[in-house]
Structure 1
Amino acid sequence: MSYFIEKNQVQKIKTFYRVFCFFICLCSLLGLFGALAFGTRENLVGGLVAALVPALLLYICLPIVFSGYPPKFLMWTLGKK
């Protein structure tokens, strides 16, 4: 039994949350560039570890902004129609 819900079974995320995810994407890009800049100056491993959180936020928020749906592993959060 699969716990994944297909896109045709859920509604798109509302516009307010898509705009909010866009704002999160902008902040995450700034954080990612800052972490990578820190990593090139101080400690490369520390910069890469610090870049994990903004990269994860981008991975989750960019599909929401452009398609209106979260990544497949988070489809269960929407529930069925």
Structure 2
Amino acid sequence: MLENLARTVFSELKNAIPSQVTDLPERELRAALEGVLHKLNLVSREEFDAQQAVLMRTRAKVEALEKQLAELEKLAEQQ
């Protein structure tokens, strides 16, 4: 992900900077980009997907427990 982003940013910078500047410091740009992204506290797509799956399972369990509780409350009211 970082490689693709760095490549895209580098390419866009090359297009935006006048053609007289031909030697952009790619290594320094990549290091600066990594530093900025690290400060943003981003997560990988894999970690996001894993957490999303956990959340979906948890939500399903909560919904099932809410339904079970509602049924138990209904039974308690009838008695």
The TM tier, using the shorter chain, reads 0.3 to 0.5
TM-score (norm 1): 0.38
By relative contact order (CA 8 Å, sep 6+), the higher-ranking structure is 1
TM-score (norm 2): 0.39
Larger Rg: 2
More helix by share: 2
